[in-house]
A and B are shown apart, each in its own frame.
Chain A
């Protein structure tokens, strides 16, 4: 397969907006999200349930269902805007250049077709191969994902396999067409811890082998630490912090990220109480004015009534918070925040 490799990143999500038009009002599930995934890179997307991380992924695949609709932005795959290609082209990209695996291996496979059928269906859809070859590829893929006795397993139905095995089948199906990007939406959440580790190892080794990029959606920071090159932290439909993984773990800037990291219990640590982030995610139909996190934020200040921009606080490190790069409250009053935002914006545009 010849792939035109330009200087552009593999995937660029720019100001993506996906809204759900419910009877109670509009839910801005994804509201101006931008991030990039470079060739062969793994980007971890973290956040609580309902923060928009899965909706972002489904928007990239254009699999948003009613009453949801992508209302703005662009999703560039090697410079081509996926939101503007026609349905036939998009189908050609889905499962071929971009594959996706889901959280629930127990229900993500069709119960009335064999595993081999479901994998070879993806192969013969995207490649000009015969039935027999597609089936052989399916068996090869099952072998590749570490399923013992793959020829027999291919003839089995999903209910005859365990959850971990089914997730392997999903991975085999997703990778059978050698995608450039794998979107993994909480791939290990529904699995036992030991199986989780196996699946992560498998994804790592396949990532090396296929040199593919991964968008890894999870709420498990341990998984991120294990897998990700870059991290995107999302909150209430927005990106609140973004950087390489080391920086996010060593020097988190946004109070939400700090809270997430503090809430991980550590073995051997003598603590009476588990750290939690106070409060709950705001009602998406009734978001607070200004910073969406301010009601739960230990550092909330008057300036937080003005929505903070996503600004670069260090090279390659973005945060949507009024705190100074050092983590101090800004010295300026609320009236000066506009200038601060402008200064931040121009700093972002200035050539590095």
Chain B
């Protein structure tokens, strides 16, 4: 197992390099260049030229890419990822400061998603084609099709403006650091994220459970004389949860990177919101760091899912 994880981590290096090259190139190919934000009638061409030299923009492209990549992997240095154009803070500090907020938002949403979607999916599978199942599936399809920015706005309109039950945006009321205030602020963004992900997860859980319920070993369990609940929870559910691990692996990156749109809609001070702002503000160092962190998380999430498989499925060994 340890050698397997090590091998996968080594394999991750070239993938990460690939992500670095591609994201650098995409950003390079986007119209304009980093120092455009400094151009104005009052800035002399000489100053612009000095800035170009300062940021290394006068160098040939391969040289720029190389020096950025060398710097990027020196994560122990606070200035390795450069300084944000918007507030002059080191990008590493900025990202590190936002990770906890994203974790608290995404973690709450993931936890609720799992404890809601799994029972809902199981119910839909066990009572396939019943009224409950049909209602669940219709709601899940609607939820799945709903864009988060729209759902977020609707929830804000109804619960924050019309009913005045929850705050419009932000993480806490100024000067109030209590848990209660935090939870109060979490409700709407978590609801937005959870509605959409429960829709996807419950459909997935339902189909996984349906497949398992038709397996021969479920019939064997019933033929043994086991009560329905034991057949369902001990024999069927345990197997139906195995593919859910894949979904978990795919979700892990978003735990850290956050939900860009939802965070932006609710002005949540997390990484996702930062990414959106960085793109809009053309904050090049922040955008590059954001993309790279996201890429690394995808790789780690997949690795974690593969490792988890070995724990939930005895047929898999590394």
Q: Which A residues are within 8 Å of any B CB, using their own CB?
A: 61, 63, 91-96, 99-100, 102, 104, 107-113, 121-122, 125-126, 157, 159, 170, 173
Contacts and interface: CB of A to CB of B under 8 A. Distances in A.
A110 B234 CA distance: 10
A182 B105 CA distance: 56
Contacts of A93: 225
A91 B227 contact: yes
29 contacts: A63-B219, A63-B222, A92-B225, A93-B225, A94-B222, A94-B224, A94-B225, A95-B226, A100-B223, A102-B216, A102-B220, A107-B215, A108-B219, A108-B220, A109-B220, A110-B220, A110-B221, A110-B239, A111-B217, A111-B314, A111-B315, A112-B238, A112-B313, A112-B314, A113-B235, A121-B226, A125-B224, A125-B225, A157-B314
B225 A95 contact: yes
Contacts of A107: 215-217
B82 to A, nearest CB: 49
Contacts of B239: 110-112
B315 A159 contact: yes
A26 B179 CA distance: 61
B224 A122 contact: yes
A166 to B, nearest CB: 11
B223 A61 contact: yes
The 5 nearest A-B residue pairs measured at CB:
A95-B225, A94-B225, A95-B224, A110-B217, A107-B216
A94 B223 CA distance: 6
B245 to A, nearest CB: 13
A108 B216 CA distance: 5
Nearest to B129: A66
Contacts of A102: 216, 219-220, 223
Contacts of A108: 216-217, 219-220
Contacts of A125: 224-226
Given A94-B223, A109-B220, A111-B217, 18 more contacts: A63-B219, A91-B226, A92-B225, A93-B225, A95-B225, A95-B226, A100-B223, A102-B223, A104-B216, A107-B216, A108-B216, A111-B314, A112-B313, A121-B224, A125-B226, A157-B314, A159-B315, A173-B224
Contact of B225 (A91, A104, A109, A111): A91
A115 to B, nearest CB: 11
